[in-house]
């Protein structure tokens, strides 16, 4: 059985982390967009003397692009960990609500 204290803790955790969750999602989206900008900058500056296909291939292999991929990965892990914890706490609340609704039905 899920205690009221556990549900209150879940609600408190969600309330305390909702802004961090939103920020992590926004950060991930920003870094994914920045990845496109990094590639475009590499293609149009560092590898501008090549054909577009060759410039893209070199841009994907460039250390600057690889660094951006690592940044995207870190932002993704941070967001998905927070998201999973948020969903876990929400699930605790949903299960508690369902159990209590069933108990009320049996007592009526």
Inter-helix orientation angle 4-41/63-107, to 10°: 160
Domain boundaries, position 75: 4-103
Q: Is the pLDDT of residue 102 over 60?
A: yes
Which residue has tokens 């706490």?
Answer: 89
User: In the predicted model, what is the mean pLDDT of residues 50-79?
Assistant: 98
Whether the CB-CB separation of 47 and 10 falls below 8 Å is answered with no
The verdict on residue 53 lying in a domain is yes
The verdict on residue 108 lying in a domain is no
User: In the predicted model, what is the mean pLDDT of residues 58-83?
Assistant: 98
Whether the CB-CB separation of 100 and 17 falls below 8 Å is answered with no
Tally of structural domains, the chain = 1
State residue 108's pLDDT score.
57
Count the residues in the chain: 108
pLDDT tens-place string over residues 74-101: 999 999 999 999 999 999 999 999 999 9
Enter the pTM of the model: 0.87
User: In the predicted model, what is the mean pLDDT of residues 20-41?
Assistant: 98
């Amino acid at each position: 059985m899920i205690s009221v204290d556990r549900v209150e803790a879940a609600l408190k955790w969600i309330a305390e982390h909702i802004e961090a969750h939103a920020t992590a999602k926004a950060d991930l989206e920003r870094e994914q967009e920045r990845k496109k900008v990094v590639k475009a900058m590499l293609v149009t500056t560092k590898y501008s003397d090549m054909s577009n296909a060759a410039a893209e291939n070199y841009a994907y292999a460039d250390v600057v692009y690889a660094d951006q991929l690592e940044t995207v990965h870190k932002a993704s892990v941070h967001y998905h960990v927070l998201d999973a914890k948020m969903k876990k706490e929400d699930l605790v609340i949903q299960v508690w609500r369902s159990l209590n609704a069933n108990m009320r039905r049996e007592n009526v």
